[in-house]
Structure 1
Amino acid sequence: MKKYIASALLLFTVAVQAQQKKVPLTSYVNPFIGTGAVDNNSLAGSNFPGPTTPFGFVQLSPDTEDKPDNPASGYDYNSHTIVGFSHTHLSGTGVADLFDVLLMPATGEIRSVAGDAKKPGSGYRSAYSHQDESARPGYYQVKLKDYNINAELTATEHVGLQRYTFPANTSGHVVIDLDHSLDKNRTYWSCKIIGAEIRVVDNKTIEGYRILTGWAKLRKVYFHAEFSQPILSTVLFSGKRGNENTTIINGTNIKAALNFDTKSKSELLVKVALSPVSIENARGNMKAELSGWDFDGVVKQTSDKWEKELDKMSIEGTSVQKEIFYTGLYHAFTQPNNMADANGDYQASDLTIKNAPDKKHYSTFSLWDTFRAAHPLYTLTQPERTADFVNSMMRQYDTYGYLPIWQLWGDENYCMIGNHAIPVIVDAALKGIKGIDPEKAYEAVRASSTLNHPGSPFSDWEKYKYIPEDIQSQSVSITLEMAYDDWCVAQLAKKLGKTSDYQHFMTRSAFYKNLYDSKSGFFRAKNKNGEWLSPFNPLKYGGNGGNPYTEGNAWQYFWYVPQNVPDLISIVGGTKAFTEKLDQFFTLKDLPGEVNGNASGFIGQYAHGNEPSHHVAYLYDFAGQPWKTQYYVAKILNELYNNSSSGYSGNEDCGQMSAWYIFSAMGFYPVNPASGIYMLGSPVLKQAKLKLGNGKVFEVTTQNASKENVYIQSVKLNGKTYDKTFLTQSDLTKGGKLEFIMGKKPNYKWGTQKNSIPPLESFSNAG
């Protein structure tokens, strides 16, 4: 009997283990994380909940605003109505754009397609409840309360598929809105529909386009839409004028109301293929990706794609940690977006149509954010796509003369500062990512570091050896960030044996010193005569112009010398003075006057809600007090991320906020993202496995992981005692095992030896 019981228990255990192994990683993804602030203390994330494929072109999602602006994703979890479902969105940005080809189902008499939808009783928006709303990778669903319609969404790379279930015995309609866009009355740039068209091809097909300006200066969006039921009649609107049963409408404010026989068949499907090139290519995209009407099959297909991408990392931790981690990975893999059509055509930055033979051309490069951690994450988890990203950026160099600053829809919008395609490309080249030509890469980064272009006056950089504020606003931030970019150029020059260039750019990489004011202890602005600008208040915030600091203050930008932290320590006066300044940074709570809107997630002056602060907690590692790095990293991980709609302490910024969590939860972070060096922090996961593109696995295990046990007691790397506060790229890529033992109290001896911090020369060798 005991034998049978033991066998039964064994079979039960095996069955349970097998069942546990089959839990899909997509089940941990919560697309509602980061979609709406709970209170005024968070920017939430600015994410959208609708379906998209990994790095795909179409992002089909509900819009809760008629003129989306804030949040930039178009969806606010705190809103109570939906205006429709548009096919393109930005994930986690601070600026809005896209929202192309909005569709909305309705019943009865549509109150006013052309009216003011913000007025009660007008427009076609509908109330909804989160109780009747759900989302997962590849799928979104909501009940539209005003019409009692259940709307379901899914997507392939270039095609959005919607399924509407109408209530019985009702007349069904679908509105197509080509005027829906970001607010056209914005003050800092203009959004305008230049031209648009809706054409009725036959009783099941609608095609059209719109050409518009916005954050991207010129976008062309072509669409091909097919319906599963015949269109009974149409009303095409130009402005407020409706035209019944006409076949074409052109203008700058056009919409269509399509009528269907939903009394006899309540289910209606519509699929919309997009192209940035032509209607013909939109047709081709649909033919290549979605010739049929299998909604549930597309949901599964897209979900499977996400499962494959998420499986590049496996973790063990609490359910909340898994939800935050895998949702973060999902957000990180939402962009950059492949702008190439199924045949490889894409619109280049010079607005000509070119063809990518491999059918890969990426855009949506939020580089000021993503160069810091998201792109280093891609080099580990997406090496093939990293090469595609780099080659896509270098195509802008070919057609435009220099690399992207912030590229959207293939168009350079010059948002933010610095030239941060440079560290991304240099990092990939130094790490030996296959598919990149190092010589061509160097040609591009060198040109982008010498040719004057908006925000980068290199002739003044060479002349003054800093950026004067009376020549270029945001001068301190630009000086610090360009110095870092120059260091990156120097490293690739060194690797390629270009000695004179290496020396030249290394000299420029130290120009930050020329704005250090030893009296105040901060980097300060000078004019072209070399005079300090006064008055000076290190707490005063700047935005995106009119101030020496970009989306921050002097406190937050003081720490931005990642290429030479030992020198930063030296100019302050040594490790004691440096750590005392760090201590003050994390405890000083004064916030005088107006704080920049991107500053949030405060710990003292540390603002995790924006990128300039992201590396600072790890700087204690360089100054002999790694236990303080562990304390603050754990504090950020545990307090400034959660699994609610307000899951991020700031804009998610195209994966950067998530990448910080992903790296830090495993226990390490790239302070200098192009160095191949990762500083150790405070892991919170019991186990993490990084499945590398070379077939090897780097595993991290953590004993005693908890919110209380934030301090490293000891570390082993591949079974050997490890006292260094850093890992190298080669440590990761050759595979192995990193073991942490954590505790409630600091181990003041660990990581404080002379060889515990990386030697400066290691920063020029990513291997």
Structure 2
Amino acid sequence: MYRHLLLTLLLATSFANAQYIDIWTAEEQDFSDYSKSQPSFIPEVFLDARGEYTRFVDPHIGTSGHGHTFPGATLPFGMVQISPDNGVYGWDWCSGYHYSRPDIVYFSHKHLSGTGATDLGDIGMIPYMGKYVFRHTYDHANEYARPGYYAVKLDNGILCEFTVTAHGAIHRYTFPEGSKDKKLRIDLLHDISNHKDEETFFSFIDDKTLGGYKHSNGWAPNQHVYFHMTSSHNMNISKKDRKQAKKTVDIEFKGEGNVVELRVALGSTSVDAAAKNGQHDGIKKGFEQHFETANFLWEKRLSRIQADFPTEEQKITFYTALYHSMIAPALNSDVDGRYTEPDGSITQMPEGLQRYSTFSLWDTYRAAHSLFFFTAPDVIDDFIASMLAHYNFRGQLPIWELESNETFCMIGNHAVPVLAEAYMKRMTSDDLDNVNWDDVLEACDVSSKKDFRGMASYMTRGYVSTEADAESVSKTLEYCYDDHALSLLAKGLGQDDLYYEYFDRSMNYKNLFDPSTGLMRPKNDEGEFIKNFDPFAHDIDGVRHYTEGNAWQYNWHVMHDPKGLVGLYENQEAFEFKLDSLFAIDIHIDEAHKLVDVTGLIGQYAHGNEPSHHITYLYNYTDNPWKGQQRIRETCNTYYRHTPDGLSGNEDCGQMSAWYVFSTMGLYPMDPASGYYEIGSPLVENASLSLPNGNTFSIVAKGQDEENYRVKQVLLNGKPFEGHRISHQQILAGGTLEFIMTN
């Protein structure tokens, strides 16, 4: 709700480019004949160089429906995401692109992946011939995307190809033979969220080089981005344009040949810094060399988990999910570790560390950050340092950080469980030995006591009251989990007083449980449950009590104490019946109470939104875990597909994908800060995890097929495995986890 409300407010503001931009509603499409085609015009080098794992990635998954992903090129956690924009303002265009549109207005250099709010779309560029037109049409049959490479042949005949470096993008435009001219428009006002109060400039350096700057006020209130561009051809820019150009410039390329290459490097602090970033990346190398490097870097990340599935479609879905899980956080500092703060000041990161951005923590703390301990342990120390840098500047850990800004989107203090999990799993990376964990604890403690969003009520009453703040139930439950994570961190660091303080706070969830309904209900200042309670509504009498959900969906948000949650019911059978009811109740919600974020429904279970992601694993705390295994398999097969609309909801910077990656391997970090993974129902036939300590952990599912979703027995290294949780330490030790499947 926060995200959709924010977008509504952004769209209600005045439109700087209103004469160009459409307000558009995406319609459902039929993808029954969708296939990952290979257009005939794609050079063989890009088809032949497909890696063992990158060839199973289709970046178009999630670009339709409400997935909000983009098809363009990027590196793992790279600064640049070069991708096409449709020139549309609307909720389904949060990434700038939606598969339903047959046109492109610009290729821009920064994009969000799967978010529910819009921003970025910086430094828009488009090639053209003759007279400039705003929209350039194309056919999806002439479009191709793979990790580190994107190509599209526009209907005017121009082939546009892109590959990337850590800080830059390489453009290659092939104009039709015999073209009378070769032109390019650069638009610094182009964006995805209708930025306000923009400040821009161009810097014309020589006939083949220019730079520029953009300061904008969007979802990220103070974003600063610089660029440095070199061209393979001389650039003819009129004296009038050179003198007046601050926002848009038109370039005519002079010289022989119909192929124009551009090398665009971005920077955080200056045009010169952008140029140095490009030099560091070796941006002058050939297009094919950069593509091969991009392919290698993606192959290296993806191959850390080697998985086989019953079908190729499932394998494509898996590796695309793994790909999507490593787009954010995104690099935000220059090669020297410097970056621009929201107030324009420059901060230097500690030696050897880089600043990262795009921390969608309400989403990603649940499983995406857990996945990094297997796929990207080498950057976790950078993520920690970035969160501490945010704290040092603002006096509070990030909530939803973007381009060094705090957007204050969503709820909770979810940097806390991410940091606590890193402490609990610090043996995963030698780099984490250099973290000052006392500083981490201080930042978590201070941030968890800020008088902010109902925290004063939470600390005095043991819950956020309805008078104290909106979405009081969700905030109470989210704070409880954060407090649990902080208690683990404090205990590990020998701070017993803090441990007991936050452990007690983590039990506050019990204060909102109503035995008469078996649900978590909002309370007022006097400690009374509010009247006119509707378990299917997120708001009651005009006041929101739940965040992107309702009482049925948030009732289970006690990942840290499932046994305690079960204990609130009359007996285990009553808890199981209530859990069964969640998946069985199908209530029509009237239009006034519908939430666009609540999708992927099975009864009231909403897989399209994060608060539901752990719920199927709660069946492990009943006598019938097979029910959860059934729902896990159903969710994998129903809400993840190899089509552009193959995601049931916003991809959310990797969380929607991380759920699939873990769940198809038969594991899920329901309580990520604890360092344990719940046992589920694997979809893989086998998987091999290359661990950072050099060991290998294998997962094997015997008897795996479409019908056999139940787990009959689990073996660890050939011996019966008791219980339903496996620890991170057990995985790091290496070995084989074997599932015996049955129907």
TM-score, L = length of structure 2:
0.90
Partners in 2 of 1:380 and 1:79 — Cα distance?
Answer: 37
Kindly name which structure, 1 or 2, has the bigger radius of gyration based on alpha carbons. Answer: 1
Asked if structure 2 preserves the Cα contact closer than 8 Å seen for 1:158 and 1:289, the reply is: yes
Summarize deviations over 1:685-717 as a string: whole Å, max 9, x none: 110011111111110001121221101122111
Partners in 2 of 1:34 and 1:458 — Cα distance?
Answer: 36
Match of 1:99 among 116, 121, 132: 121
Partners in 1 of 2:105 and 2:90 — Cα distance?
Answer: 10
Q: Secondary structure at the match of 2:672?
A: coil
Asked if structure 2 preserves the Cα contact closer than 8 Å seen for 1:600 and 1:609, the reply is: yes
RMSD of equivalent CA atoms: 1.8
Match of 1:534 among 531, 536, 540: 531
Asked if structure 1 preserves the Cα contact closer than 8 Å seen for 2:165 and 2:283, the reply is: no
- 1:121-270 equivalences under 5 Å are 123-145=133-155, 147-170=156-179, 171-184=181-194, 191-234=195-238, 244-250=240-246, 254-261=247-254, 264-270=256-262
1:232 CA displacement:
2.4
Asked if structure 2 preserves the Cα contact closer than 8 Å seen for 1:316 and 1:687, the reply is: yes
Q: Which amino acid aligns with 2:147?
A: P
Asked if structure 1 preserves the Cα contact closer than 8 Å seen for 2:193 and 2:218, the reply is: no
Partners in 2 of 1:304 and 1:175 — Cα distance?
Answer: 32
Match of 1:415 among 409, 414, 431: 409
- In the superposition, relative to structure 1, how do residues 722 and 656 fare at CA in structure 2: closer, same or farther (>3 Å)? same
- In the superposition, relative to structure 1, how do residues 25 and 393 fare at CA in structure 2: closer, same or farther (>3 Å)? same
Report the counterpart of residue 19 of structure 2 in structure 1: none
1:287 CA displacement:
1.8
Summarize deviations over 1:709-733 as a string: whole Å, max 9, x none: 1011221111101232221111111
Partners in 1 of 2:556 and 2:638 — Cα distance?
Answer: 22
Higher deviation after alignment, 461-470 or 615-624 = 461-470
Partners in 2 of 1:584 and 1:561 — Cα distance?
Answer: 18
Report the counterpart of residue 665 of structure 1 in structure 2: 664
Higher deviation after alignment, 724-733 or 348-357 = 348-357
Report the counterpart of residue 32 of structure 2 in structure 1: none
- In the superposition, relative to structure 1, how do residues 423 and 221 fare at CA in structure 2: closer, same or farther (>3 Å)? same
Asked if structure 2 preserves the Cα contact closer than 8 Å seen for 1:50 and 1:62, the reply is: yes
Report the counterpart of residue 3 of structure 2 in structure 1: none
1:233 CA displacement:
3.2
Report the counterpart of residue 686 of structure 1 in structure 2: 685
1:383 CA displacement:
2.0
- In the superposition, relative to structure 1, how do residues 83 and 23 fare at CA in structure 2: closer, same or farther (>3 Å)? closer
- In the superposition, relative to structure 1, how do residues 233 and 280 fare at CA in structure 2: closer, same or farther (>3 Å)? closer
Asked if structure 1 preserves the Cα contact closer than 8 Å seen for 2:553 and 2:611, the reply is: yes
Q: Secondary structure at the match of 2:245?
A: strand
- 1:299-310 equivalences under 5 Å are 299-310=291-302
Q: Secondary structure at the match of 2:235?
A: coil
Report the counterpart of residue 394 of structure 1 in structure 2: 388
1:141 CA displacement:
0.5
Partners in 2 of 1:255 and 1:21 — Cα distance?
Answer: 37
1:205 CA displacement:
1.5
Asked if structure 2 preserves the Cα contact closer than 8 Å seen for 1:369 and 1:653, the reply is: yes
Report the counterpart of residue 86 of structure 2 in structure 1: 64
1:402 CA displacement:
1.5
Match of 1:385 among 379, 383, 395: 379
1:223 CA displacement:
1.1
Summarize deviations over 1:49-73 as a string: whole Å, max 9, x none: 1111110000000111244652211
- 1:592-671 equivalences under 5 Å are 592-593=589-590, 594-671=593-670
Partners in 2 of 1:715 and 1:532 — Cα distance?
Answer: 44
Higher deviation after alignment, 22-31 or 337-346 = 22-31
Summarize deviations over 1:251-282 as a string: whole Å, max 9, x none: xxx211111237x4101111111112111111
Q: Which amino acid aligns with 2:161?
A: E
Report the counterpart of residue 425 of structure 2 in structure 1: 431
Report the counterpart of residue 447 of structure 2 in structure 1: 448
Partners in 2 of 1:591 and 1:297 — Cα distance?
Answer: 55
Match of 1:323 among 316, 319, 327: 316
Partners in 2 of 1:628 and 1:461 — Cα distance?
Answer: 35
Q: Which amino acid aligns with 1:673?
A: P
Is 1:339 the counterpart of 2:332 in the alignment? Answer: yes
- In the superposition, relative to structure 1, how do residues 614 and 300 fare at CA in structure 2: closer, same or farther (>3 Å)? same
Summarize deviations over 1:278-324 as a string: whole Å, max 9, x none: 11111111222134251111111111111111111101112112111
Partners in 1 of 2:314 and 2:397 — Cα distance?
Answer: 37
Partners in 2 of 1:350 and 1:730 — Cα distance?
Answer: 43
Report the counterpart of residue 480 of structure 1 in structure 2: 477
Asked if structure 1 preserves the Cα contact closer than 8 Å seen for 2:619 and 2:628, the reply is: yes
- In the superposition, relative to structure 1, how do residues 22 and 701 fare at CA in structure 2: closer, same or farther (>3 Å)? farther
Match of 2:546 among 549, 565, 580: 549
Partners in 1 of 2:120 and 2:436 — Cα distance?
Answer: 33
Q: Secondary structure at the match of 1:654?
A: helix
Report the counterpart of residue 276 of structure 1 in structure 2: 268
Is 1:290 the counterpart of 2:287 in the alignment? Answer: no
Report the counterpart of residue 585 of structure 1 in structure 2: 582
Asked if structure 2 preserves the Cα contact closer than 8 Å seen for 1:200 and 1:247, the reply is: no
Partners in 2 of 1:705 and 1:595 — Cα distance?
Answer: 38
Q: Which amino acid aligns with 1:231?
A: M
Higher deviation after alignment, 363-372 or 343-352 = 343-352
- In the superposition, relative to structure 1, how do residues 542 and 309 fare at CA in structure 2: closer, same or farther (>3 Å)? farther
Asked if structure 2 preserves the Cα contact closer than 8 Å seen for 1:53 and 1:156, the reply is: yes
1:153 CA displacement:
0.6
Partners in 2 of 1:704 and 1:468 — Cα distance?
Answer: 51
Partners in 2 of 1:528 and 1:375 — Cα distance?
Answer: 36
Asked if structure 1 preserves the Cα contact closer than 8 Å seen for 2:304 and 2:374, the reply is: no
Summarize deviations over 1:216-254 as a string: whole Å, max 9, x none: 0100111111111011234xxxxxxxx83434523xxx2
- In the superposition, relative to structure 1, how do residues 542 and 154 fare at CA in structure 2: closer, same or farther (>3 Å)? farther
**Please, which runs of 5 or more residues in structure 1 have no aligned partner?**
1-19, 38-42, 111-122, 185-190, 235-242, 745-767
Partners in 2 of 1:651 and 1:245 — Cα distance?
Answer: 41
Q: Secondary structure at the match of 1:335?
A: coil
Q: Secondary structure at the match of 1:509?
A: helix
Q: Which amino acid aligns with 2:282?
A: L
Q: Which amino acid aligns with 2:138?
A: Y
Q: Secondary structure at the match of 1:70?
A: helix
Higher deviation after alignment, 79-88 or 533-542 = 533-542
- 1:456-535 equivalences under 5 Å are 457-535=454-532
Partners in 1 of 2:639 and 2:50 — Cα distance?
Answer: 31
Match of 1:54 among 76, 100, 120: 76
Partners in 1 of 2:80 and 2:244 — Cα distance?
Answer: 25
Q: Secondary structure at the match of 1:132?
A: strand
Identity of aligned residues (%): 40
Partners in 2 of 1:683 and 1:21 — Cα distance?
Answer: 31
Partners in 1 of 2:543 and 2:245 — Cα distance?
Answer: 44
Report the counterpart of residue 368 of structure 1 in structure 2: 362
Partners in 2 of 1:260 and 1:21 — Cα distance?
Answer: 31
- In the superposition, relative to structure 1, how do residues 458 and 125 fare at CA in structure 2: closer, same or farther (>3 Å)? same
Alignment: residue pair count: 685
Asked if structure 1 preserves the Cα contact closer than 8 Å seen for 2:73 and 2:83, the reply is: yes
Q: Which amino acid aligns with 2:211?
A: E
Asked if structure 1 preserves the Cα contact closer than 8 Å seen for 2:49 and 2:292, the reply is: no
Report the counterpart of residue 188 of structure 1 in structure 2: none
Asked if structure 1 preserves the Cα contact closer than 8 Å seen for 2:119 and 2:193, the reply is: no
- In the superposition, relative to structure 1, how do residues 635 and 128 fare at CA in structure 2: closer, same or farther (>3 Å)? same
